[in-house]
Amino acid sequence: MAVTVGKTGRLVKFLREVRAEIRKVVWPNRKELTTYTGVVIVAVAGVAIFFGLVDFLISQVLALLMK
């Protein structure tokens, strides 16, 4: 026969497991964090420029076709 655990017991178990998993995480140091942040900013800017150019080109082609 299985023992049923109430909602409070399940919550406490869940929080203990979360705490155990958080302890396993390897957090980046300040240098790694600034490097990764810079990479993300450059990548996002590059993708934004790419899509901006594609949007501009498509709008120009559509404008020519509509004339």
Where are the domains positioned within the chain? Answer: 7-66
Whole-angstrom distance, CA of residue 29 vs CA of residue 36: 11
Q: Indicate whether 1 pLDDT > 90.
A: no
| pLDDT average, residue stretch 54-66 | 96
Give the per-residue pLDDT at 40: 98
pLDDT in tens, 17-55: 999 999 999 999 999 999 999 999 999 999 999 999 999
Where helices occur in 2-29 by DSSP H, the ranges are 7-24
pTM to 2 decimals?
Answer: 0.62
| pLDDT average, residue stretch 61-65 | 95
State the burial class of residue 53 (Cβ atoms within 10 Å of its Cβ: 0-12, 13-18, 19+).
exposed
Name residues whose C-beta falls within 8 Å of residue 5's C-beta, 6 or more positions apart in sequence: 13
